[in-house]
Amino acid sequence: MVTAPGPVGRPLVGSLPDLAPPLTRMQTILGWTRRYGEVVRVRLGSRVNYVLTSPTAIKHVLLDNAKNYPKSPAYDTLKALLGDGLLTASGQTWLTNRRMIQPYFHQKYIAGLLPTMVACTETLLADWQGRAARGEVVDVSAQMMALALRVVSKTLLSADVTGTEAGVGEALATGLELANARIFAPFQIPEWLPTPNNRRFVHARGVLDGVVLGIIRARRATPGQGDLLDMLLAARDEETGDGLSDHQVRDEVMTIFLAGHETTATALTWTLYLLSRHPDVARKLRAEVAAVLGDRVPTLEDLGKLRYTTMVLEEAMRLYPPIYVIQRQALADDVVDGFTIKAGELVTANMFATHRNPKYWENPEGFDPERFAPENSADRPKFAYLPFGGGGRVCIGNNFAMMEGKVLLAMICRAFHVDALPGQPVVPWPVVTLRVKDGLQATLRAI
């Protein structure tokens, strides 16, 4: 038996105090991986967790021996917010729902959603014209959240959420922040206790439920849009013939509606921030967009030609992956990269640190989209880059997200310079997703 190296930690609580503060968590983990290696043993209270930044170790856990590594108890905390949808479900529930939903994320289906993505972005850009003329400072994070929320609600649910974006965004931020705090708490406070944080969590979940259940009730009254929501409402159990209850539909819609827009908006926010700090990259991106699109709106045929735009988006998600960790729990003893993992212990693929592993990335802290050119990435291990996860549970919406990201980014950068205000702290805020702490303040300059 070979035990992986790692920090000693403190009596009883181990390294929990080192990871609890979100602002320093990412740098703490980076420090551990650089000191101890690609498999780091960390004691979190009574639990042992292994931080993985080795592509072979991550591949073993997520693909080669995935049956031994189901989702960890941390996902139960997210269930309190999102329910038992694709992100949090496991076993037969996950498999059944995944098979049911998968066809709606095939390339053939999502191609028809592109005009709606374009229309939503044109609405944003028209609003930005007025803001730019008035010299307003905007929160790019909030703007991207609102845009991505409109896109996912209109494309997959045929619903108009105009006017609810701010409330949904605030409720989601609160829910994710408090769910994250529960994951790293040394002990769990029951949700039924009326503590201030529990009341905030219940209120946030109520706001989200109100919007999602309202969409579901309206659709039951007027079906026939031919979208993902119609499919969920029409689904029937093969044995009993029973349909999904509003609660079951709610869980899947909540995951798609919220997790779907949250990750795309976060990726776009970090991308626009990086472009504002690297004007040479921004100029090259705009030159490509001008050459491919001219004054036209993007079409499906254009997306394959936006190669540099794609690389910019990929590089931004390397540095700041919206989903930055995947955690599993070992069912039986195993060996990962030569180190013993005991049954019941946790393993965490940390994409933030993996994407900055100097063994696989030259100048890992630098912003260099060219590293994703085919000639520069051909020999890179597949599991060294995991913005959408990996293995059998790879993100079901990865093609949708990449299409949306390229369309929105190309249209925004063709129309505006987004200039992040100098002097503001721009730091990762790891609360389930890797948000920008306190948003990103910027001015807009029309092109």
CATH code reported for the domain at 16-446 = 1.10.630.10
Which residues, at least 6 apart from 85, have a Cβ–Cβ distance to it below 8 Å?
Answer: 97, 251, 252, 253, 254, 255, 256
Across 42-56, 76-90, 276-290, 420-434, least confident range: 76-90
Percentage of the chain exceeding pLDDT 70? 99
For residue 14 the two structure tokens come to 């181990």
Distance between the two ends of the chain, CA-based, in angstroms? 62
Using one digit for the tens of pLDDT, what is the confidence trace for 346-390?
999 999 999 999 999 999 999 999 999 999 999 999 999 999 999
Averaged pLDDT, 98-105: 84
pLDDT in tens, 107-122: 888 899 999 999 999 9
Q: In this predicted structure, what is the pLDDT of residue 257?
A: 76
- Domain segments of the chain as ranges: 16-446
Partners of residue 349 on adjacent β-strands: 52, 326
Q: Which of 34-38, 185-189, 255-259 has the lowest mean pLDDT?
A: 185-189
Half-sphere exposure of 305 (CA within 13 A, CB side): 13
Cβ atoms of 40 and 446 within 8 Å: the answer is: no
Q: In the prediction, which pLDDT does 223 show? A: 85
Question: Residue 359 carries which side chain, given as an amino acid letter?
Answer: K
pLDDT of residue 238: 67
pTM, two decimals, is 0.94
Burial 110-125 (b: 16+ CB within 10 A, else e): beebbeebbebbeebb
Q: What is the pLDDT of residues 227-257, one digit of tens each?
A: 889 988 887 766 677 777 888 888 988 888 7
Number of H helices, E strands in the chain: 19, 11
